[in-house]
Structure 1
Amino acid sequence: MQTFDDVARLAAGLPQVTEGVDKYRKTNRTWEVGGKAFAWERPFSKADIKRFGDVQPPDGPILAIRTADLAEKEAILAAHLDAFFTIPHFNGFSAYLVQLDKVTPNVLSEALTDGWLACAPRDLADRFAAGES
């Protein structure tokens, strides 16, 4: 089972990442690059839980990760049906949710890196991709 401490450790391995707290709730951890959040704690709100109706919401810690666009989001969701999902609140938004207790360390690391690449300033992302960062 992965934890938010594992997320923090993996995110800290990426260039120029800062960790902070959600600017609205002030309690949830957020990871940013270039002033843009690429991953954040995403507990379910009361409205989210209500939308699940009679279906049990995924349990355990939930992480949100940004994607470059909606097509990438759909491809990621299709490839990782067991641990990655979305909710109505994220419709039309280029991010998805990760059930941390169902994701492997390697898949989580890859997902965080992809989220980082989606939000990093282009020159930094290019240097990272070239192995220069």
Structure 2
Amino acid sequence: MMNPEVLERIAARRAELDEAEERLSTQLAEVRAERDELAVAERVWQRMSEQLADEQADAGSPLVQVAGRAVRLVPERAPGVQESALPAEYQRILAAVRAVGGPVATRQIGEVLGLDAEVRGKLEPLRGKLTKLAERGWLHKQPDGKFTARP
């Protein structure tokens, strides 16, 4: 038979450990909840940073309403109008034309931009953007349909 004093000490110690376990479980739950909140805050911050970067990249190119949708305009090239006023996609196209050098066909620019140049449907929107850049003075369209960068 066990000593009643030993049994009492064992029961007291068990109660202390149960209390410590409950306290630590509560603390662990709080730590996990805060860590989850930080992960959400990080995702929100990342998303907002990307949106701000996009907005800054698009700054200067005005929005207009077409058929109820906001559409970014490609501004006319004029003194004081910087390339940064162009939407980001148009800036990439202009940079690709400059990178190729001389007169360049739509297919070549599509390849530089990573488009599937074998699919005509992939090139037509690009051709429209190149033409728009030429109409606005950013590129020169030659009679054979090729494009060159304006100095």
Q: TM-score, normalised by structure 2?
A: 0.28
Bigger share in strand: 1
State the structure with more CA Rg: 2
Q: Greater relative contact order: 1 or 2 (C-alpha under 8 angstroms, separation 6 or more)?
A: 1
